[in-house]
A and B are shown apart, each in its own frame.
Chain A
């Protein structure tokens, strides 16, 4: 069974978004997504200061099996990228909700996210 955490929200494309409460958000891929992709070998994150429009592919997580785009959940500006993933892409497998986060960003408004409960239902 995939882990889904109550403290954050989700997208249909299996990303999680954590509201940091100060106009910034942290984002990563869900446990379901990492399990499906298998062993991560490269993670491509944007640079600090990069801007992305809603639904742009702005990160790529790549496993032995497949490459998968990560999409911007809103118009956003990247304020931090997880550099640890350069050397340890496997953090996305071992700790997708904590040490394996991908980016932190600023955004005014994020719409259409799912609650943990709704997301868990889509996995059934």
Chain B
């Protein structure tokens, strides 16, 4: 199994290591719920070095990315600005979801999922053949996400010099300092940074962050945090067979420029013409029990399925994202352990910046 440069730090901290798509990663260190609250109320950090950074350089970098992904990188005009997008196949299904950072018209940086890295790189390379662009995966970078209301202050305390370059960063923007790349982004619904750094600096930085009072958090807390934040997970809310229009990700698809024929556009336009039949909604369970992935959802317009179900530590209730027939509102029933249980349909996010929104 693959290990990140922080593997030993996780073991030393009592991390319960599990196989996560071929990577040996910490699920939790002690209580997953306490790790969750740590991020909502103070500051926690996650090793996300298993994710892959890919740099795109060359005179065609911009036009290539305008073809490759469904959102339009032409929106990005200031250095460090980030954009969330899906990369689609010809059928409009999602190859991966990603963040792309603008550095210049000839220089972009992308972050893709760990589990899809091999597939993505092969896909990108095949599509890049006719463009003057170099596609360079940066496997020697580590990545640490520091998240929570006190995350930024603690990063500045732990990492001298960072405040000068990242102190004024607005959300969804990034800056560099030598080999460091610091983005004000995350996957928790809290403020904070995602920090890319050379792998040899990772353990030292992790220790400095620990010293500053940032607690390590595992993949378990990362999942309940992103679910509360209503953020999609590749492989759960969308995949190669689900289009962004069917996954409540229409906001990430830019159809404004008629001339920009990105991969999958024809399929999306056809789907739109025929009427999109399903979408992703949020569910809140008032009774006891925890909603689990793949449970059946029964609605007045037909059946659906839970795509991500878990317990919300902030709300003290079970919550879920579910794929349901388009237009369903009000309430539904979930088949849980052979019983039908009533749940409320809501619009995600459930929680942002420490506050419950549903």
Contact = CB atoms under 8 A, between A and B. Distances in A.
B290 A67 contact: yes
Interface in B272-304: 288-290, 292
A83 interface: no
Interface string A29-53: 0000000001101101000000000
Contact of B32 (A38, A44, A60): A38
B220 A64 contact: yes
Contact of B290 (A41, A90, A93): A41
A90 B311 CA distance: 14
A38 B337 contact: no
A64 B32 contact: yes
B323 to A, nearest CB: 22
A75 interface: no
A57 to B, nearest CB: 9
B242 interface: no
A67 B32 contact: no
Interface residues of A, number: 13
A62 interface: yes
B289 A42 contact: yes
A67 B337 contact: yes
B285 to A, nearest CB: 10
Given A64-B33, A65-B220, A38 B290 contact: no
Given A39-B33, A41-B290, A42-B290, A64 B310 contact: yes
Interface string B11-35: 0000000000000000010011100
Interface in B305-337: 310-311, 313, 337
Contacts of A67: 289-290, 292, 337
Nearest to A65: B220
A34 B230 CA distance: 29
Contact of B289 (A38, A62, A66, A93): A62
B224 interface: yes
B290 A64 contact: yes
A51 B337 CA distance: 21
A42 B33 CA distance: 13
Contacts of A62: 289-290
9 contacts: A39-B32, A41-B290, A42-B289, A62-B290, A64-B224, A65-B220, A66-B292, A67-B292, A67-B337
